[in-house]
A = this chain, B = another copy of it.
Amino acid sequence: MQTLTVADLEGMEKLARIQLATSLPGIKPISLIGTVDRSGQTNLAPFSSIVHLGSSPALLGMVTRPDLVERHTLANLTEIGAWTINHLHPRILGAAHQCSARYPKDVSEFEATGLTPHFEEGFPAPFVAESRLRIGLTLEDLIPIPANGTQLIVGRVVLIQIADGLLLDHGHLDFDAMECLASTALDTYFKIQPLARYSHAKPDQVSSPV
């Protein structure tokens, strides 16, 4: 094994250190966050920090930095109190990555990348029409993380839209048929291949794939 200490990390060239640090969580979810401001200006930004917080009520979190890249997302979702999560598949990956460019606020990433905004009646934020799994959330809380000035955005799931046939029995989603993507660092994307689904593990028996 190769061992890196804090001193090794601090001695790395800045971009290499960011690359490594953003790789440490491993294989991350990747989706497009859809928002809109009061004037109707829409925004899309890729996030790889979506995390499950609870199932009843269904709550999801995501982390926002105090810097340029994501501040349109944070400003919009604070203003409107709602946003969407739109999962990716290979045909929209290029457009999704392009949404990480620092467009000025008056340019919508929908227009810049050709992705199609989709609005549902009664829900203010735009979905990505091309996405096969999209989630509408309302703002539940905004929690400061004092260690580095980031914030945890807590959202309540109020709407789930799933491409026909991909919601299976017992709440399972068919991520394979969805061609759902994963990511690491800020620039690297993966396809996924189903490996195993295990039974609920119990101390007195060896769990096995089902």
Q: Which residues of A are at the interface with B, using a C-beta cutoff of 8 A?
A: 1-6, 9-10, 12-31, 48-61, 63, 85, 87, 90, 93-94, 97-104, 107, 112, 120, 133-135, 140-141, 143, 145-148, 150, 152, 154, 156-164, 166-167, 169-173, 175, 180-182, 184-185, 187-203, 206-208, 210
Contact = CB atoms under 8 A, between A and B. Distances in A.
Number of copies: 2
A141 B152 contact: no
A86 B162 CA distance: 33
Contacts of A203: 101-104, 107, 112
A179 to B, nearest CB: 10
A1 to B, nearest CB: 5
A99 B207 CA distance: 10
B162 A19 contact: no
Contact of A189 (B101, B184, B198): B198
B93 A195 contact: yes
A24 B53 CA distance: 11
B145 A154 contact: yes
A175 B190 CA distance: 10
B188 A194 contact: yes
Given A53-B145, A192-B191, A200-B187, A171 B24 contact: no
Contacts of A193: 190-193
Contacts of A59: 147-148
A90 B209 CA distance: 12
B63 A52 contact: yes
A146 B45 CA distance: 27
Contact of A63 (B15, B61, B163): B61
A52 B49 contact: yes
